[in-house]
Chain A
């Protein structure tokens, strides 16, 4: 095989890849770029540049409150996923017991069951509980947080389990033989060693909760909408660069989180 031919093949793959990756990424680049246009109605070419849309987006209560509600909900959901997921990951990664595969499948199932199906079943479930007991869950904070924790949990378990399986078990034994008790071993050795997995798990849990649309759709209340719901509500009636400004903030946030995660874990392993 000639070198020229190898080069042709390479160029061919590069060209296709540029096109495909461009197709995936360009829309985001456009929305970021156009969020700075001063045009009243979104169109090319730009009439000038402004930061007005960002100010407007900030002034809109739906977006501002939505952002903070999303932030808070996703942070709490991540914390819950951490609390529930860490012990479960230890059992799944370290122990062999009957039913382990089944338990693993069940814990991963929130990732597998379609968002709309999971969301609508939770919605009906909450309402039926409300009929029976009078507790209002749908549209309340706890209901929303529960749904988001459900989104976050499998990501946490998946990434923490992976890093636990990759850990050299004699490191813990070394600590034991040096005089550390089980708790000391856990906090001084195990946790620091799997820290990258925990961080990656937390970030994926957070991001996937933050961007959730399908489950939240059923569970937001009249004056408690998450950022994603606020976005599509706004899109129903308007289309201007306020959307672009909000989108840009979200793109910046998520890119940043991915860059941070990348420092700790191989990103492709999460999928």
Chain B
């Protein structure tokens, strides 16, 4: 073959500028966003962590120091521990309710509803989620207050006494559940959809009742996803601000409103910062711990 001849006669290589453009280093495309998040979130958080070791002074606001006194104050003052315990208790309760109420709805949407109806129902569920805390809690105030919708409805049945629901733990729990449920339902719905429906039919054809199918097949498979949804709900309710403030009233203290109160009203930045980090750490430790525990149990299940 005369290949080498042909190649020798080839036109000279094109000008260097006609080489394909080198791809701009991809990581640099993230730089503007990264800088923005670093300045807007990471740096303030770092500063906050540092501030939590400073000393508060009513005249000077903050005195640079390196002291653990803010953390000590939290763990020696029964008031703040009670706030944390109340936050934990309400969050656990609200999450549990969401789990129990969310599983059947998510399963229903995944298995028993046409594609169009599901799309519409998802929007119906998403509106309360994306409507904002201010509007949602005011809607609940409308229902729960002593002369509100619930009282009027009960009045029809002859109940006349004051409801006394507003500004209670019950009201806060109701409010939290109503915002967390959509999250739970949407998360669990995708989890159930990822499970092959044939598995359930297979189990059913082997003689398992529906409850057995759920307990032995669906829930074990869905467990990691259920765990993720539960953790999400728990975190969100640990950090809830608007619901406890508006439905719990001025004397019902939870963590996030207390952080706001310390930072923005009392201007006690060191203590407010310490509170914020205690809140985040407790939430993190609990969710990681519970996830690990559940996953250990899950592994035993699947053996």
A–B interface present (Cβ within 8 A): yes
A-to-B contact residues, CB < 8 Å: 1, 5, 9-10, 13-14, 16-17, 20-21, 23-28, 30-31, 34, 41-45, 83-85, 87-88, 90-92, 94-95, 97, 99-100, 103, 106-107, 109-110, 113-125, 128, 146-147, 149-150, 153, 157, 182, 207-208, 210-214, 217-218, 228, 231-232, 235, 239, 243-244, 246-247, 250-251, 254-255, 258-259, 262, 267-268, 271
Which chain B residues lie closer than 8 Å to A153 at the CB level? 33, 36-37
Task: Looking at the assembled complex, report how far the CB atom of A270 sits from the nearest CB atom of chain B, in whole angstroms.
Answer: 9
The smallest C-beta distance from A45 to any residue of chain B, in angstroms, reads 7
Instruction: Please measure, in the bound complex, the distance between the C-alpha atom of A246 and the C-alpha atom of B186, giving whole angstroms.
Output: 27
Minimum CB–CB distance for A25 against chain B, Å: 6
Contacts of A45 in B (CB 8 A): 152
Quick one: given A88-B34, A213-B132, A268-B190, are A44 and B149 in contact (CB under 8 Å)? yes
- B interface secondary structure, majority: helix
Chain A residues within an 8 Å CB radius of B127: 25, 28, 251, 254-255, 258
B162 at the interface (CB under 8 A from A): no
**Given contacts A23-B101, A153-B36, could you give 8 more A-B pairs where the C-beta distance is less than 8 Å?**
A5-B210, A14-B108, A44-B152, A107-B30, A115-B241, A117-B276, A120-B276, A235-B141
User: Do most interface residues of chain A lie in helix, strand or loop, or is the interface mixed?
Assistant: helix
**Shortest distance in angstroms between B156's beta carbon and chain A's nearest beta carbon?**
9
* CB within 8 Å: A-B pair count: 276
Closest Cβ of chain B to A90, distance in Å, is 6
Interface residues on B, range: 35 or more
Query: Judging by beta carbons under 8 Å apart, are B45 and A24 in contact?
Result: no
Residues B108 and A17 in contact, CB atoms below 8 Å apart: yes
Q: Mark B92-130, 1 if CB is under 8 A from A, else 0.
A: 000000000110110111001000000101111111101
B248 proximal to A (CB < 8 A): no
> Shortest beta-carbon distance, B69 to chain A, in Å?
18
Question: How near does chain B come to A220, taking the closest CB pair, in angstroms?
Answer: 11
- Are B186 and A21 in contact (CB-based, < 8 A)? no
